[in-house]
Amino acid sequence: MQVAMTVNGRDVSGDVEPRTLLVHFIRENLRLTGTHVGCETSYCGACTVQVDGRPVKSCTMLAVQADGCVVKTIEGVADGDDLHPVQEGFWERHGLQCGFCTPGMIMSAVSLLEQNASPTEDEIRHGIEGNLCRCTGYHNIVRSIEYAASKLRGEEPAPPDWTLDFEGAS
Amino acid sequence: MTTSTTSAMGGIVRRREDPALIAGEGRYVDDIKMTGEASAVFVRSPFAHARINSIDTSAAEAIAGVHAVYTADDVRHLGLLLAQVAVGPLRPLLADGSVHHAGEAVAMVVAEDAYIAKDAADAVMVDYDPLPAVVDMKDAVKDEVKAHEGAESNVLLTWYSHDWWPGVFELEDHRPAIAEAKQRDDVVVVSQEIGNQRLIPVAIEPRAVLADWNHGYKTVDLWSSTQIPHALAGAVAKTFGLTSHDVHVVAPEVGGGFGAKLNVYPDEMLTVFASRELNRPVRWTETRREAGYSTIQGRGWIGTATITGTKDGEILGYELDAIADMGAYTQNFTVAIPVLGLYVAQGQYNIPLAWNVACVNTNTQTTDAYRGAGRPEAIYYVERIIDMYATEIGMDPADVRKKNFFKKEDFPATTAIGLTMDSGDYEMNLDTLLADVDYAGLRKMQADARAEGRYVGIGLSTYVEVCGFAPSVLAEFGFGWDGYGMPTSFSGSGLVRVNPDGSATVIIGTGPSGQGHQTTWAQVVSGRLGIDVDNIRVSHGDTAESPMGVGTFGSRSAAVDGAATYEAAEKVRVKAAELVAHMLEAAAEDIQFADGGAHVAGSPGHTVTWAEIAEIAYKPHKGPEGLEAGLEAHAVFSPGNATWPFGSHLAVVEVDPETGNVEILRYVAVDDCGNRINPMIVDGQIHGGIAQGIGQALFEEAIYDDQGNLLTGSLVDYPMPTAGDLPAFELGWTNTPTDVNPMGVKGIGEAGTIGSAQTIVNAVVDAVSPFGVKHIDMPLRPRRVWDAIQKARG
């Protein structure tokens, strides 16, 4: 079947089987490999992309369902060489370790901040519950998103909370 | 000769790995594409134990796009899957005549793409005769049903603390003394059967492998999501009759390991085999549900812990009588995992020890190293039972612990199993935690909450871990890669090259999966040479370019490979000082390296850059006469001992008695890993480790039904923690450096996991102790907590 959609601002099309998943169309046909497959039950969120502005788990959406849609993947988040504040936050606040969940996590965080410019820590934690990370314990992911939220509001982010002092809790 | 940069040891440096990863440009195995590649899918057994009568592959082979279907008949000549500690039944590459756990691979289909291969796998007809399965390890020790037909016993061996390595350690058997102590009038004996449930590692990147056999060059290129690229190269070479230099393994970005990728797997051998047969690249990517069958699991112990001690808190003996579930087959370190637990069996306490763990086969997936590997189990047991002992004698759990600690002056301290712990100051570390949280104030808050009818609990745990396994002689015990045809001890290696343009290339033998080696190793080298970290590129995980390495596991990389890189950089520095001395007409011992160059002490204005130093290194006619051209060095570091990090963790929880729900109000950890290369990365390792321990304490469990079917194979059924389940972590730090390596660093990769599960359980039991609850087995899901409350209430 022929599908056509706009991905990261570019018009693309392809010939796919009806059963082809959107994530496979993105990864195999378009060779945009930043969108990852971590499970196949839409639980881990590594495959999160935006479809028509909403976060979607692309491992449980068919490519044909995205026909005519506007899709944004991790590769389309930065503005040229300028990182999106969420990407910057993940780098500045050590929001990633192995990096495999990161693209999906960033896509969910971008969507969260588009809906809520000033989320509380609790709102951030519940807002990214659909994305699993096994490395970070989420602590620095939350800090990364807080950093990005501040930046997007034009405010100075809170300083990092690294354990720097000898013999003292942060 | 001194060096200074702001980015060296102890500095916060943003990760060099991150720009690619946050842009979606990281390259994992599944992102690498080769011309003409085919995809493999496995046919897996629906039975946990069965004979295979026949396999009919004809319908599958007839499907368009299918290249081949392989069974045991095709691969038997390759032998069994290699294991490092080969005690017990080894795994066939494909089930050969019978299956021994649900999901065992019976046939492999290779097709044009994975969609077609899946269709074809469904068309393979296998005729089975089901056999009785033994699933529960307590049933397995009865030997009424054997996991393997014809086996003498399901019990493969039992490890005893007093003779774990006969001939090497002459140890006192503490059992008679403990038995005698139990007869005393002034002692209490506290005993509890305690489970430590089986877990599924769940690296978010499923395992993936891509093999390309080249008949012309007689070589194999193999990309695998592995923690141990060199050992894998050895295992492939041994299996296929090649030499290790014929096998080129690349571990590109690896999306989490946690021990799950510290193994050699059948799929790695089988994709190589298929590539050889089909003369094309062959790929296999694990699905999440499949991972419950195709990747090792962890933990899975049940045991009775007993403390014999006086009523004023002096412990006279600690015993553990346990069973550890090996699953169906022995793989890498399977039967040696309990020994890693034995290393830290007595925790931080200078107490008599009598420990035995029986290793048993069951018809379930193999177990092996999962973050901590034996050490979280061991610490869980001693820290749970010491809490029960404290409750029994009415003493504060912090005081009981302190009373039995190894003291600062005991170090280097000898453990009950004859090992030497390098350094420690346990009381200082625990006191730091107690002061940080205002422990007395917390207890008052708890009393106030109880008075209001709230069930708030405070849980404490201390731990010691052991990492950077050494010395070299441990290879003879099994902690090497002899079983994979790579006779090695666990030495570390590093190569430092200053390039002609003054930049530096560092190549190391590790296999990281998110630990940030490209950043921290650059800091180590920057600290020695004064080259800015942005001008140092670190690479790893490629056996064609890396020096011999053993991979990344057991919290070993910084303390062993990092130290090797430190020493390689030191060699470069000594040579560079000679070059600079020649350039500046000074003495080599007066040369200082800083800020991207070098100068003579006392004359900071007169500097040479690394590009200038490198030029004369590579143009010997410009340098001192007789000095070898070039500017690189390699070092191998084989430490004289392991390192022994330690720490203290505390949790405050509140339990809702109506629902059994547990809420973590605070989690505080004060870990001591000696000197830190990059505190930001150390924090991250601790955070992730704690999350995995909390996952075990509250949520995670690999559950099999009585027929041996894994009921929790998908993430829907296997609840690993989400961001909403966890609190922000409060971390402190104490610093007790080690002298077993030149940087004074210990490991930190597993510490958080080793310290955390019992901290949570101790807190929850403390919270519900007013009901009379003394122990609850993990995971402490609401139903289990609620049941415990109901049972205690009567």
Contacts of B285 in chain A (CB under 8 A): 37
Contact A129 B723 (CB under 8 A): yes
Instruction: Answer whether residue B664 shows pLDDT above 60.
Output: yes
Instruction: Give the model's pLDDT for residue B8.
Output: 77
Q: What residue has token string 């002092």?
A: A165
Q: Is A48 on the interface with B (CB under 8 A)?
A: no
Instruction: Answer whether residue A106 shows pLDDT above 60.
Output: yes
Instruction: Answer whether residue B275 shows pLDDT above 60.
Output: yes
Q: pLDDT per residue over B456-475, tens digit each?
A: 999 999 999 999 998 999 98
- Tell whether omega for the bond before B281 is within 30 degrees of 0, i.e. cis: no
Q: Are strands B298-310 and B492-498 parallel, antiparallel or unpaired?
A: unpaired
Instruction: Answer whether residue B379 shows pLDDT above 60.
Output: yes
All structural domains of chain B with their residue ranges: 3-25+492-637, 32-131+204-256+261-294, 298-469+641-793
Q: How far is A124 from chain B (nearest CA, A)?
A: 8
Q: Is B587 on the interface with A (CB under 8 A)?
A: no
Contacts of B690 in chain A (CB under 8 A): 137
Query: Topology of B298-469+641-793 in CATH?
Result: Aldehyde Oxidoreductase; domain 4 (3.30.365)
Task: Report residue A165's pLDDT band, with 50, 70 and 90 as the boundaries.
Answer: low
Q: Is B766 on the interface with A (CB under 8 A)?
A: no
- Tell whether omega for the bond before B471 is within 30 degrees of 0, i.e. cis: yes
Q: Is B728 on the interface with A (CB under 8 A)?
A: yes
Structural domains in chain A, CATH included, are 2-76 (3.10.20.30), 85-152 (1.10.150.120)
Contact B206 A37 (CB under 8 A): yes
Q: Is A71 on the interface with B (CB under 8 A)?
A: no
Report yes or no for ipTM above 0.85: yes
Contact B684 A94 (CB under 8 A): yes
Q: Is A105 on the interface with B (CB under 8 A)?
A: no
Total beta-carbon pairs less than 8 A apart between chain A and chain B: 218
| Mean pLDDT value of segment A115-143 | 98
Picking from B17, B21, B714, the nearest residue to A41 by CB comes out as B714
Q: pLDDT per residue over B444-454, tens digit each?
A: 999 999 999 99
Contact A94 B726 (CB under 8 A): no
Instruction: Give the model's pLDDT for residue B605.
Output: 81
| Mean pLDDT value of segment A94-113 | 98
Helices B375-393 and B397-404 pack at an angle, to 10 degrees, of: 110
Q: pLDDT per residue over B32-64, tens digit each?
A: 999 999 999 999 999 999 999 999 999 999 999
| Mean pLDDT value of segment B692-720 | 97
B contact residues 270-329, partner A, Cβ 8 Å cutoff? 285, 287-289
Instruction: Answer whether residue B485 shows pLDDT above 60.
Output: yes
Whether this model's pTM surpasses 0.80: yes
Cα torsion B141, B143, B149, B153 to 10°: value is 60
| Mean pLDDT value of segment B715-729 | 97
Q: pLDDT per residue over B130-153, tens digit each?
A: 999 999 999 999 999 999 999 999
Which residue from B minimizes the CA distance to A21? B115
Q: Is B6 on the interface with A (CB under 8 A)?
A: no
Q: What residue has token string 């990090």?
A: B645
| Mean pLDDT value of segment B374-383 | 98
Q: Is B628 exposed, middle or buried (0-12, 13-18, 19+ CB in 10 A)?
A: exposed
| Mean pLDDT value of segment A88-107 | 98
DSSP sequence for B9-52: TT-----TTHHHHHTT---BGGG---TT-EEEEEEE-S-SSEEE
Contact A129 B684 (CB under 8 A): no
Contacts of B254 in chain A (CB under 8 A): 98
Q: Is B2 exposed, middle or buried (0-12, 13-18, 19+ CB in 10 A)?
A: exposed
| Mean pLDDT value of segment B122-132 | 98
**Interface-testing mutation among A138, A140, A164, with chain B (most B C-beta atoms within 10 A):** A138
Instruction: Give the model's pLDDT for residue A129.
Output: 97
Instruction: Give the model's pLDDT for residue B7.
Output: 62
Residues paired with residue B421 on neighbouring β-strands, in sequence order: B413
Indicate the range of B189-193, B209-213, B477-481, B498-502 predicted with least confidence: B477-481
Q: How far is B781 from chain A (nearest CA, A)?
A: 18
Instruction: Give the model's pLDDT for residue A164.
Output: 82
**Interface-testing mutation among A37, A97, A108, A129, with chain B (most B C-beta atoms within 10 A):** A97
Contact A137 B258 (CB under 8 A): no
**Identical fold, B32-131+204-256+261-294 and B298-469+641-793:** no
DSSP percent split of chain B into helix, strand, coil, nearest 5:
35, 25, 40
DSSP assigned state of B725:
G
Helices marked H in A4-74 — which ranges? 22-24
Nearest to B200 by CA among B295, B136, B285, B105: B295
Task: Report residue B73's pLDDT band, with 50, 70 and 90 as the boundaries.
Answer: very high
Helices B751-768 and B375-393 pack at an angle, to 10 degrees, of: 30
Measured in degrees and rounded to the nearest 5, phi and psi for residue B297 equal -115, 175
Q: Is B666 on the interface with A (CB under 8 A)?
A: no
Q: Is B451 on the interface with A (CB under 8 A)?
A: no
CATH superfamily, domain B32-131+204-256+261-294, is Aldehyde oxidase/xanthine dehydrogenase, a/b hammerhead (3.90.1170.50)
Average pLDDT, chain B: 96
Helices marked H in B316-358 — which ranges? 337-343
Q: Is A133 on the interface with B (CB under 8 A)?
A: yes
Instruction: Answer whether residue A122 shows pLDDT above 90.
Output: yes
Q: Is A38 on the interface with B (CB under 8 A)?
A: yes
Which residue from A minimizes the CA distance to B674? A166
What's the rounded Cα separation, in Å, for the pair B507 and B546?
A: 6
Instruction: Answer whether residue B700 shows pLDDT above 70.
Output: yes
For B390, the enclosing helix (H) or strand (E) is helix B375-393
Q: How far is A129 from chain B (nearest CA, A)?
A: 5
Instruction: Give the model's pLDDT for residue B3.
Output: 46
Contact A168 B18 (CB under 8 A): no
B contact residues 205-234, partner A, Cβ 8 Å cutoff? 205-206
Contacts of A138 in chain B (CB under 8 A): 687, 691, 721-723, 726
DSSP sequence for B667-709: EEEEEE-BS-S-HHHHHHHHHHHHHHHHIIIII----B-TT--
Q: Are strands B3-4 and B247-250 parallel, antiparallel or unpaired?
A: unpaired
Helices marked H in chain A — which ranges? 22-24, 85-92, 102-115, 121-127, 139-152
Biggest alpha carbon distance in chain B?
Answer: 90
| Mean pLDDT value of segment B716-721 | 96
Contacts of B23 in chain A (CB under 8 A): 34, 74-75, 78, 83, 87
Task: Report residue A54's pLDDT band, with 50, 70 and 90 as the boundaries.
Answer: very high
Contact B15 A140 (CB under 8 A): no
CATH code of the region B3-25+492-637: 3.30.365.10
What's the rounded Cα separation, in Å, for the pair B397 and B391?
A: 8
Instruction: Answer whether residue B4 shows pLDDT above 50.
Output: no
Which residue from A minimizes the CA distance to B514? A98
Q: Is B118 on the interface with A (CB under 8 A)?
A: no
Instruction: Answer whether residue A170 shows pLDDT above 60.
Output: no
DSSP percent split of chain A into helix, strand, coil, nearest 5:
35, 15, 50
Q: Are strands B504-508 and B536-540 parallel, antiparallel or unpaired?
A: parallel
Which residue from A minimizes the CA distance to B430? A167
Instruction: Give the model's pLDDT for residue B9.
Output: 81
What's the rounded Cα separation, in Å, for the pair A145 and A160?
A: 12
Q: Is B756 on the interface with A (CB under 8 A)?
A: no
**Percent of chain B scoring above 70 in pLDDT:** 99
Contact A38 B732 (CB under 8 A): no
Q: pLDDT per residue over B254-264, tens digit each?
A: 999 999 999 99
Q: What are the distances in angstroms from CA B348 to CA B68, B178, B278, B528, B585?
A: 56, 19, 56, 35, 55
| Mean pLDDT value of segment B86-98 | 97
